[in-house]
Amino acid sequence: MPSLNHGAYIEAALRSILDQPYPVVEVIVADGGSIDGTAAILKRFDSRLSTWWSRPDSGPAAALNEGFRHATGDIFGVLNADDFLLPGSLQTVGTFFAAHPGADVAYGHGYFAAADGALGVPAFSDRWDARRFRHGACVLVQPATFFRRRAYRHAGGFRQSGRVCWDMELWADLAGSGAQFAAIDAHLAAFRLHGNSMTASPRLRACRQQDARSVASQFAGAPERAGDRALHYLYRAMKFGRHPIRALRQRWYFRQSIGRWSL
């Protein structure tokens, strides 16, 4: 769990993991030196956490790499300190991996949630497709995506050069290293929208777009060309055409929650 000044949400995030009836789970919190009381909350959970620290770091990707160096489990997952898992999700994920030994990455669905934690509209992961991913039309719900230790290590972990698209970079590197992706048809986590979230920040919107295009170019193994932009819009239009009502509901929820129509 990477964390920075999300003291208003981190207890709910921790409880969403620790209160699940799953036999063995490690929770590692990498806090980047929060000054909002987060450390005091973590101290209260000290006996239930595998390990935690609160000190300045080089960003979420660096914090995650350090955190996973402490992990001993076979299945890894990332939960941001302002998101939360849904009840029973860990059992669903554990059962799925046990039944599908060839799966390296398993992704489910989730919900967008309001700042107070109330569930909003569903958020659906797209079925993994490398070509659509390259053109921005294959998105996985990050807190509902889990991966095997072996695949994470084979991919080299998180890239620490990126700024905000560290999850998309990992999906690209996992796919590039031969990882097998599989879908879990279940809602597993909630993605909380609030004014201080990375997703809601207008300041980071251009950065997200630039980083996403860079990841796509690296994944393709070639710089972006004029035709790639046309394909980008075509694939996005096709995705919208498959589920127009769903897409409009999500955009309206974003508009109501953070004052913008979409990401």
Sketch out the chain's domains with CATH numbers. 2-258 (3.90.550.10)
Distance CA 129, CA 242 (A): 15
Distance CA 216, CA 56 (A): 30
Provide the whole-model pTM: 0.94
Distance CA 119, CA 200 (A): 17
Residue pair 152/166 in contact by the 8 Å Cβ criterion? no
Q: Which residues of the chain have pLDDT under 50?
A: none
pLDDT tens profile 86-97:
999 999 999 999
